[in-house]
Amino acid sequence: MKIGRTATGLLWVSPWILGFACFTLLPLVLGVWYSMTDWTLLESPVPVGAENYHRLLGDDVVGIALRNTLLYIVITIPLLTIASIALAILLSRPARFQSLWRVAVFAPSVLPLVAMATIFKLMYDGELGVVNRGLGAVGAPTPEWFTSETWAMVAIILMNLWVVGPAVVIYLASLRDVPRDLNEAASIDGVDWWGRLVHVTLPMISPVILFNVIIGLINAAQVFVVPYIMTGGGPNRGTYFWSMYVYDAAFRYGDMGYASTLGIVQFAAILLLTAGLLLVGRRFVFYRGAAS
CATH of the domain at 277: 1.10.3720.10
What pLDDT does residue 96 have?
Answer: 86
Query: Is 244 contained in some domain?
Result: yes
Does the residue 243 lie in any domain?
yes
Domain count for the chain, please give it. Answer: 1
pTM of the model: 0.92
Q: Does any domain span residue 184?
A: yes
At 52 the pLDDT is 96
pLDDT, residue 292, reads 42
Q: Is residue 15, in this structure, part of any structural domain at all?
A: no
Q: 4 lies in a domain?
A: no
* Residue-range definition of the domain harbouring residue 264: 60-291
In a domain, 245, yes or no: yes
Residue 37 within a domain: no
Q: How far apart are CA 233 and CA 120, in angstroms?
A: 16
Mind listing the pLDDT tens digit of every residue in the chain (292 residues)? 677 788 888 899 999 999 999 999 999 999 999 999 999 888 899 999 999 999 999 999 999 999 999 999 999 999 999 999 999 999 998 888 888 999 999 998 888 999 999 999 999 988 889 999 999 999 888 998 999 999 999 999 999 888 899 999 999 999 998 988 988 899 888 889 999 999 999 999 999 999 999 999 999 999 999 999 999 999 999 999 999 999 999 999 999 999 999 999 999 999 999 999 999 988 888 886 554 4
Considering the domain boundaries, does residue 25 fall inside one?
Answer: no
